[in-house]
């Protein structure tokens, strides 16, 4: 089930990347073209290298993350309601290679750094949706770890940094409503050294103390968490 989802997610991701690349080459082609056609669209001719309008960008980002930032592909993160500075920092890290991901690393060269702020601003203003889970036992275990940590192995409580309701901050990402497979992948990457761009190395230190069951439980729980009123 998990593998299947993962596979589908990767396929959709790759497809969107492909569409994005085609889209981009079409744009480049259009930019090259005006010399021959005097009636070429004025925006293209007048502003070479200009920032594409948001609607156009949402076609690129929205394919994987949904236009409202609540990704329906479980492997992809929900961006809605994430802190704008946090999103911008992640985009910068993808750009510089500090954070890597097959799909994002192939998309990010198409996006100019000047766009990061407006894209981050847009997604940060969207409302994060919360999911439901039918895995009551896993959710209960996750809740305990989220609120109390694991005393024996010194796993700190998640809410210490991410907040009681998982709403996060500039330094620590929002977790409430996040897609479980995405959270599992990230924690596993932090644990194995696949992701190292966390704030001050704190998440790596914590993830190294977590086992697979704990990671699964926490991921399931946060997807059901709602922002405090």
Partner 1 sequence: MMKKSLFMVIALLLPLQAAVVKADDAYVPKVYGNKNYVWDEMTPERVEVLKQTRDPVAGKDSFRGCQGCHKADAAGVREGVYPRLTGQHASVIIKQITEIRAGIRKNPKMLPFVEDPAITTEEIGNIAAYLSTLTSYRENGKGPEDMSEKGKKLFIANKCSTCHGKNGEGSEEKAYPAVASQHYGYLIREMNLIRTGVRGNSNPDMVKAISKFSQSDMDAVADYLSRLPDYRTVVAPVASSK
Residues at the site binding partner 1, with contacts judged by CB under 8 A: 148-149, 151, 154, 156-161, 164, 169, 171-172, 199-202, 205-206
Question: Residue 151 CB, nearest distance to partner 1 (Å)?
Answer: 5
Measured between alpha carbons, how far is 136 from 49 in angstroms, rounded to an integer? Answer: 51
Q: Which residues on neighbouring strands pair with residue 150, listed in sequence order?
A: 155
Largest CA distance in the chain: 73
Q: Is 212 helix (H, G, I), strand (E, B) or coil?
A: helix
Tell the smallest beta-carbon distance from residue 133 to partner 1 (Å): 23
CA gap 145, 142 in Å, rounded: 5
- Alpha-carbon torsion 77, 78, 83, 89, what sign? positive
Min dist CB 155 to partner 1, Å, is: 8
For residues 61 and 225, which CB has a smaller minimum distance to partner 1 in the complex?
Answer: 225
Nearer to partner 1, 183 or 206 (CB): 206
Q: By C-beta, is 113 or 148 nearer to partner 1?
A: 148
Closest separation in Å from C-beta 78 to partner 1: 23
**61 versus 82: smaller Cβ distance to partner 1:** 82
In the complex, the smallest distance separating the C-beta of residue 156 from partner 1, rounded to whole angstroms, is 2
Beta strands in 59-211 (DSSP E): none
Q: How far apart are CA 217 and CA 224, in angstroms?
A: 11
Nearer to partner 1, 169 or 224 (CB): 169
């Amino acid at each position: 089930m998990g593998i299947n989802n993962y596979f589908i997610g990767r396929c959709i991701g790759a497809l969107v990347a492909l569409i994005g690349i085609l889209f981009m080459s079409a744009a480049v082609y259009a930019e090259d073209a005006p010399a021959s056609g005097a009636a070429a669209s004025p925006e293209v001719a007048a502003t070479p290298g200009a920032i594409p309008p948001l609607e156009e960008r949402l076609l690129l980002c929205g394919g994987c993350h949904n236009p409202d930032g609540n990704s329906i592909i479980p492997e992809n993160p929900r961006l809605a309601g994430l802190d704008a500075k946090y999103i911008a920092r992640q985009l910068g890290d993808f750009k510089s290679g500090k954070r890597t991901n097959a799909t994002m690393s192939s998309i990010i060269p198409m996006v100019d750094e000047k766009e990061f702020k407006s894209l981050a601003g847009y997604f940060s203003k969207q409302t994060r949706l919360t999911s439901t889970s039918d895995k009551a036992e896993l959710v209960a275990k996750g809740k305990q770890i989220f609120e109390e940590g694991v005393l024996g192995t010194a796993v700190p409580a998640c809410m210490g940094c991410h907040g009681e309701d998982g709403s996060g901050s500039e330094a620590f990402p929002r977790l409430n409503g996040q897609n479980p497979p995405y959270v599992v992948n990230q924690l596993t990457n932090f644990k194995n050294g696949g992701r190292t761009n966390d704030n001050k190395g704190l998440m790596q230190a914590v993830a190294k103390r977590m086992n697979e069951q704990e990671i699964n439980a926490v991921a399931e729980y946060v997807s059901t968490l709602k922002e405090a009123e």
